[in-house]
Amino acid sequence: MNRKKDAPLSAIAAQVLILVNSVFWLIFALVAFLGLLPGALSTGPTRWVMGILSLGAAVFMGGLVFFLARRVKAAYYIGLLTMVLMSILSITDEVGLFDWFVLIISLAGFVLMIISRKWCLSLTSIDRATEDHE
């Protein structure tokens, strides 16, 4: 049984949205490191802090997609929490285009993860094979 083949469209779409969010944070990190952020954000240690935090978010979400694709149950719950936190944090400061993008992508990913809950939390074919031998 191919794990990817029996994945519902909602699960695949959720993973794609989280990956898009990850790539977006990676681009934001690059912009921060290059000092291209507007105003005071592009000077001194602020740009490095913004870049490191953004890079961390990108790597974290990339790893999340990796584990979601393998149906690691903890990744499902961590993913839900991450999407909620990203949504909340995107509206806690001055809301601009970037914030709206993150909010929409995060909320859509959250909803799609809820829709695909049964598949995400079910045993994979590898788990079933392991159980059969025990």
Q: Per-residue pLDDT tens for 45-63?
A: 888 999 999 999 999 999 9
Q: Please check whether residue 81 is in contact with residue 60, taking contact to mean a CB–CB distance below 8 angstroms.
A: no
Secondary element (H or E) of residue 90:
helix 73-90
How many residues are recorded in the chain? 134
Number of domains the chain contains: 1
Closest CA to 54 of 34, 80, 70, 76: 34
Q: Per-residue pLDDT tens for 79-130?
A: 999 999 999 999 998 888 889 999 999 999 999 999 999 999 987 655 555 5
pTM of the model: 0.83
Give the count of beta carbons closer than 10 Å to the beta carbon of residue 47.
19
User: How much is the pLDDT for 43?
Assistant: 78
For residue 81, give its domain range.
9-133
Q: Is residue 1 part of a domain?
A: no
Q: Is residue 75 part of a domain?
A: yes
Q: Please check whether residue 113 is in contact with residue 79, taking contact to mean a CB–CB distance below 8 angstroms.
A: yes
Q: Is residue 51 part of a domain?
A: yes
Q: Is residue 3 part of a domain?
A: no
